């Protein structure tokens, strides 16, 4: 309850002050570098990991990255780096 209130306030402040949304701490961020690399910040967990499909749980919903020869370059808390040939990024 408290968390939701805080999130709401943060979002409101961000709207009001026109702060870019990615500067907010708990907002997941998915960055594509060409179709070769995907950087995911503020992920929650890895749901599945295959060379053709990687599913990552975010705070709200999940992201599915499709492609070929996908692999994790780096996995550290708060950040993932995926490398391979990316064909699509879908949010569910």
Partner 1 sequence: MAIRIAEFFSGSVRVLVLKDQSRTVLSALIARGVPLFDVEHVASEQYQLTLSLAHVKELVRAVRLASAKVQFINKWGLPFVLWRARRRKAFIGGALFFVLALYTLSGFIWHVEIEGTDQPEVIQAALQKLHVYPGGLLYRVVDQDALQLALLDALPDLSWVGVRMHGTSIYIRVISRIQGAKVQPTTPQDIVAKVPGVVAIVLADNGQAVVKPGQFVTPGTILISGVLEDGKSVHASGIVRGIVWYRSDVTLSQKTTVDLLSGEHVSHDYLMLGKFALQIWGFSHPPYTHEEVQSIDVPLKLWDLTLPLVLRKETVYEAIPHTVALTESALTARGLQFAATDVLAKCKGEGKVLRQNILQRKLEHGKLYMTVWTEVLQDIGINQAISPQKPETGKKITG
- Please report, as ranges, the residues that interact with partner 1 according to CB under 8 A: 45-46, 48-51, 70-77
What's the closest the beta carbon of residue 46 comes to partner 1, in angstroms?
Answer: 6
DSSP labels, 27-72: --EEEEETTTEEEEES--EEEEE-SSEEEEE-SSSEEEEEEEEEEE
CB of 44 to partner 1, least distance (A): 9
Q: Which is nearer to partner 1, 9 or 79 (CB)?
A: 79
Output the six-digit token pair for 63. 């992201």
Closer residue to partner 1 in complex, CB, 19/74: 74
Smallest gap, in angstroms, from Cβ of residue 26 to partner 1?
Answer: 17
Nearest to 63 by CA among 36, 30, 39, 35: 30
């Amino acid at each position: 309850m408290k968390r939701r209130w805080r999130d709401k306030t943060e979002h409101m402040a961000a709207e009001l002050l026109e702060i870019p949304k990615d500067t907010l701490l708990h907002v997941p961020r998915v960055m594509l570098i060409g179709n070769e690399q995907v950087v995911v910040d503020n992920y929650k967990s890895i749901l599945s990991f295959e060379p053709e499909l990687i599913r990552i749980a975010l705070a709200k919903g999940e992201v599915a990255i499709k492609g070929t020869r996908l692999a994790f370059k780096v996995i550290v808390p708060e950040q993932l780096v995926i490398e391979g040939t990316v064909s699509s990024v879908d949010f569910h």
